[in-house]
Structure 1
Amino acid sequence: MVSAARAEGVAVRSNADATPPRMAIQVNDDRMTVTLAGAPQIYLYGVIDADAPQRFEALLKSGKVPAGADVYLNSSQGELAAGMALGRLFRASSMTTHLGTPRRKRGGYRGAKAAVCSGACAYAYFGGLYRWAPTGGDRIGLIRHRSAVTAPAQPMQGEADAYLKAMGIDLDALAAPPAPAVDSPIWLDADQMTVAGVANNGRLPLKTKSWLLPPAPSLELHQENRRGTYRLVLQCQPGSVTLTAYDQVGATRAAQIVAHETRSYFEVDRQPVLVEPRGAARVVDSAVVISRPWPPGELGRLLSSSSIGAWVGGRRSAFRYGATFVLYPARQAIKDFYNACWRVAPWPVKQAQEKNG
């Protein structure tokens, strides 16, 4: 059970040998936390023991830990099988995993300490549908367990490999770090994890869909994150290119966003373009829709740009709603689309020749 202090799993011991250490679970679901974070915050820390998945699952079934919650991990010891079992529970409930330690008040406010997540904890972290890379002093590390390089333990290593595949985690995509001593962590940095897709920072992998035949080639970018589903559609026609963004956030939320709009715009490499005043964004079914003609001569700019986004802004600078699409996973699709557009010739050939020198 969860105590009045909302912490579970830690026992006070008079004899250290009498009770094995257990993972602690702290649920922060007060109104302020849910308002600011958008979801309850669940802290798991200490040794990941064999019964930890069962205790966590009981909280899920009771409703004390809801689907889609934020899970913060801090553990450098534990059983690999238990870590993977926790990860499966996280994925089944579409949870977001972070590294973090609970904040406590002891004789005045003290900020959270740095979290360390290694071994079984790293495998639990990989179960998050959305996985945030470590920040500040937080660290995450993989361990080459002694059991993983000896013949008797090969079945467990095979299970770990199958688990990573099921979670969509490709550790081979990581830049190969120096091999440490057996049972020592291989520490991963945030950039390394993000580039390899081990951390996705709230975004699922970008998907593309193309129609490259004349008379109207099109390219669609599809991005899902915690707040909604986002589509960006580029369409060529003879003499014109249209760029349209669809933020599918639900009819009620879409109406709220448009009601607070003072301007809408696109961004290329974080720089605003195609800015329009209030009234240019609209609600279509369950989506906020922003559409603009794109200057045909500027289409080639997307071949070298790192990102494109679509946003609605309000009177206050804090109000900004939309999404940014990171373009490097779609580089080949963008190139193919550009070539298909060139065949349709939406811009004057002379203009293109002058632009290219």
Structure 2
Amino acid sequence: MQVNNDRLTLTVAKAPQIYLAGVIDADAPQRFDAMVKSGKIVSGSDVYLNATGNDIHAGIALGRLLRENAMTTHLGTQRLPRQSGSVGKPALCTGACAYAYLGGLYRWAPTGADRIGFPAHPANDPAPTNSSTAQQSPDELTSYLKDMDIDPAVLATLLTASSSDTAWLTADQMISTRLANNGRLPLIATYQLQDGAPYLMLNETKRGGEHRMTVQCKKDGITFTAYNSVGADHARQIVARSSRAFVEINHMESDSSQQDNAVVQDQAVVIIRTYPASQLGNLITAHTLGAWVRDRSSTLRYGFEFELDGLDRILKQYYQSCWTYAPWQVQAPQKG
């Protein structure tokens, strides 16, 4: 275990970096936990894995410790001294390491030549020769995956498709199945009635902050309110440098005639836009919804974008509620 918590690391990475390399054996979770309790490893750290090990039970125990302490997992090798002149080798995370990786609250997919491999049939492997190393049961593995917000059936499908004892997963497979989230928790959509008017809220938590957008039905149209929580200081800097703020539906700006700028509220950059009812049909059939602030002195823009695929049911329910509340003469376009 290598701990990097020097000033440069904390300035650039915003969190301590923990490198776990070697073999994850039966005692590895206890050793890691001891360093957490001593304060040498702190909650919220970035954990880089480059390890092996057949003890899946130990991998699960280590993964639970990572989740309890809200840590982020990556694949990566230990940082080499600058004067060494050596080039770091790709990271390899297999067996127990792969299941420990799933414990990260935020999990970054492998990049470059780094590789992650899951045992094709972990619950059915023969018991290890070391009697002190107990294999996990299928129920234990299923319970762990569910606690980590991972669908056991999805992972099982990937593993059974492997033609070898180890299922090597690509970054695309990891992201598409939510085994990796690249610093972004699932988008949550809810709606309720507020003073009789339907009120939709979209909320997404990311490693760098929280993004939220509300869509409120009114008799004369709809109002978008976007909150980009980035911290008070950063929010003030963004607004001070901004030329304009806007909302995008399917990567296209909606109603560019509205030029009101963003404002700062507490820890967030806030954008408020009011649109005619016809915009609601475009929203509930959209694939993406974003809110942005354009920097006046560069091509940069600051904000966020939600991917709405998979939310069709709740968006349609919300649309129907809005139409009942304010029966506008509009038709929802077909989703392409």
Q: d(CA) in 2 for partners of 1:272 and 1:239?
A: 21
Q: From 106, 112, 130, give the equivalent of 1:130.
A: 106
1:212 positional shift: 5.7
Contact 2:60 2:100 in 1 (8 A): yes
What TM-score comes out, normalization by structure 2 length? 0.84
Residue 183 (structure 2) pairs with residue 207 (structure 1): no
1:31 counterpart letter in structure 2: R
Residue 239 (structure 2) pairs with residue 258 (structure 1): yes
Q: 1:111 to 1:268 in 2, by over 3 A?
A: farther
Q: CA deviation digits over 1:282-318, x for unaligned, max 9?
A: 1223332111013432322223422212223434548
Q: d(CA) in 2 for partners of 1:82 and 1:32?
A: 32
Q: CA deviation digits over 1:67-103, x for unaligned, max 9?
A: 1111111123242222112111111111111111224
Q: From 44, 62, 84, give the equivalent of 2:38.
A: 62
Counterpart of 1:16? none
Q: d(CA) in 2 for partners of 1:277 and 1:294?
A: 10
1:244 positional shift: 0.5
- Name the SS of the counterpart of 1:128 in structure 2: coil
Counterpart of 1:283? 264
Aligned positions, number: 328
Moved more, 59-68 or 273-282: 273-282
Percent identical among aligned pairs is: 49
Counterpart of 1:14? none
- Name the SS of the counterpart of 2:74 in structure 1: strand
Q: d(CA) in 2 for partners of 1:163 and 1:33?
A: 32
Q: From 77, 83, 92, give the equivalent of 2:59.
A: 83
1:171 counterpart letter in structure 2: P
1:134 positional shift: 1.7
Contact 1:139 1:188 in 2 (8 A): yes
Counterpart of 1:239? 220
Contact 1:262 1:278 in 2 (8 A): no
Q: d(CA) in 1 for partners of 2:213 and 2:113?
A: 36
Q: 1:50 to 1:342 in 2, by over 3 A?
A: same
1:237 positional shift: 1.1
Q: d(CA) in 1 for partners of 2:105 and 2:35?
A: 19
Q: d(CA) in 2 for partners of 1:338 and 1:48?
A: 51
- Name the SS of the counterpart of 1:263 in structure 2: strand
Residue 94 (structure 2) pairs with residue 113 (structure 1): no
Q: 1:355 to 1:231 in 2, by over 3 A?
A: closer
Contact 1:171 1:198 in 2 (8 A): no
Q: 1:146 to 1:319 in 2, by over 3 A?
A: closer
1:36 positional shift: 1.9
2:4 counterpart letter in structure 1: N
1:276 positional shift: 8.3
1:281 positional shift: 1.2
Residue ranges of structure 1 left out of the alignment (5+ in a row): 1-24
1:307 counterpart letter in structure 2: T
Residue 305 (structure 2) pairs with residue 305 (structure 1): no
